């Protein structure tokens, strides 16, 4: 992993997706894993950190990361099992049931953290919920934010949050400290029913806040500027991995523009942010147009793929 890479820190798992006959078929997934794969496919320099099992599911995860050119040297290899997420689709919207006890990623501790970090890191997903991995990821986040660009997408799944007070306290510590925060409209409503979170984050020093809202596209705020990128009109197969792909497009564009550093984000021009939103939305539109979390390669985006 090169010093200018983006290290994606968080869960890799197997999505058990429903087949046409009612059976479930295994597919590599996980919010942070999907972002790492999408980054690699878009041509960004990316690495991945999580616990990966030494079994057939781990081999599936490894193969998908390797195919996308994602560096996995930071990963912990273990004989523990893989997290499984059974997916229920209704009108193209995904709902999840997670099976995560004693798994390769969930049992990560601070002793497993990588020694060297690149200039940018991405955090999110259910890796911030369970223990001990939640504390492990927050510890890594705290180490990184001093000198590195950090993005967080909590990708909240209320059904897996067992200790809501503890999780809300973690979000209250992490979100205001990040450089970039991405939320879905559902995340925002869960975290901040009164709607004050976005201005609070900007006052705390967050450089870019993005809120995705399905067919309404994405709205974003920088200090002193507000942006909107409409969604693309495409037939929707399902929404699995859409937000993760948006994250990758945003980060890939900022990396290509040389803006994915502490200093670069502190002086982020609105036009650079707008270009990053465009790539994120364009990439996500391709992902939702086909089943499962199957993010696009750069060549599939045409001119929009020019980060």
pLDDT in tens, 159-205: 889 999 999 999 999 999 999 999 999 999 999 999 899 999 999 99
Percent with pLDDT over 90 in the chain: 84
Task: Write the DSSP assignment of 268-281 as a string of letters.
Answer: --HHHHHHHHHHHH
Fold of 6-296: 3.40.1190
Q: How far is CA 228 from CA 80, 107, 185, 211, 243, in A?
A: 43, 39, 14, 10, 16
Judge residue 281's burial from the number of C-beta atoms within 10 Å of its C-beta, 0-12 exposed, 13-18 middle, 19 or more buried. Answer: buried
- Does the pLDDT value for residue 305 go beyond 60? no
Residue ranges covered by each domain of the chain: 6-296
The predicted pLDDT at position 306 comes to: 46
Please report, for the chain, how many H helices and E strands are present, in that order: 9, 14
The predicted pLDDT at position 307 comes to: 44
- Does the pLDDT value for residue 96 go beyond 50? yes
pLDDT in tens, 265-294: 999 999 999 999 999 999 999 999 988 789
277 vs 274: CA distance, rounded Å: 5
The predicted pLDDT at position 92 comes to: 60
DSSP 3-state of 252: helix
* Mean pLDDT, the chain, whole residue set: 94
Phi, psi of 282 (to 5 degrees): -65, -40
| Cβ neighbour number for residue 18 with a 10 Å cutoff | 14
Q: How confident is the model at residue 88 (pLDDT cuts 50, 70, 90)?
A: confident
Q: How confident is the model at residue 221 (pLDDT cuts 50, 70, 90)?
A: very high
Taking every pair of Cα atoms in the chain, the longest distance, rounded to a whole number of angstroms, is 53
């Amino acid at each position: 992993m090169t010093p200018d890479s983006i290290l994606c820190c968080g869960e890799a798992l197997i999505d058990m997706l429903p087949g046409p006959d009612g059976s479930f078929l295994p597919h590599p997934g996980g919010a942070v894993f999907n972002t790492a794969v999408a980054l690699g496919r878009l041509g960004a320099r990316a690495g991945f950190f999580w616990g990966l099992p030494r079994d057939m599911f781990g081999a599936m995860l490894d193969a998908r990361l390797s195919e996308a050119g994602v560096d996995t040297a930071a990963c912990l290899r273990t004989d523990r099992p893989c997290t499984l997420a059974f997916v229920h689709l209704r009108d193209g919207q995904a709902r999840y049931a997670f099976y995560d006890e004693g798994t390769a990623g969930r049992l990560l501790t601070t002793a497993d953290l990588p020694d060297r970090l690149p200039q940018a890191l991405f955090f999110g997903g259910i890796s911030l919920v369970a223990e001990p991995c939640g504390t492990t990821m927050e510890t890594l986040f705290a180490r990184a934010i001093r000198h590195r660009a950090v993005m967080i997408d909590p990708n909240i799944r209320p059904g897996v949050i067992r200790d809501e007070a503890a999780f809300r306290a973690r979000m209250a510590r992490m979100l205001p400290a990040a450089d970039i925060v991405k939320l879905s409209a559902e995340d925002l409503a869960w975290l901040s029913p009164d709607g004050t979170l976005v201005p609070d984050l900007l006052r705390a020093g967050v450089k870019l806040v993005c809120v995705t809202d399905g067919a309404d596209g994405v709205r974003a705020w920088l200090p002193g500027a507000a942006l909107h990128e409409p969604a693309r009109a495409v037939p929707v197969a399902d929404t699995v991995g859409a937000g993760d792909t948006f994250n990758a497009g945003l980060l890939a564009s900022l990396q290509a523009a040389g803006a994915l550093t502490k200093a670069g984000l502190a002086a982020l021009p609105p036009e650079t942010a707008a270009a990053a939103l465009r790539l994120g939305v364009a990439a996500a539109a391709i992902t939702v147009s086909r089943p499962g979390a199957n993010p696009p390669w750069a060549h599939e985006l045409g001119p929009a793929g020019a980060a």
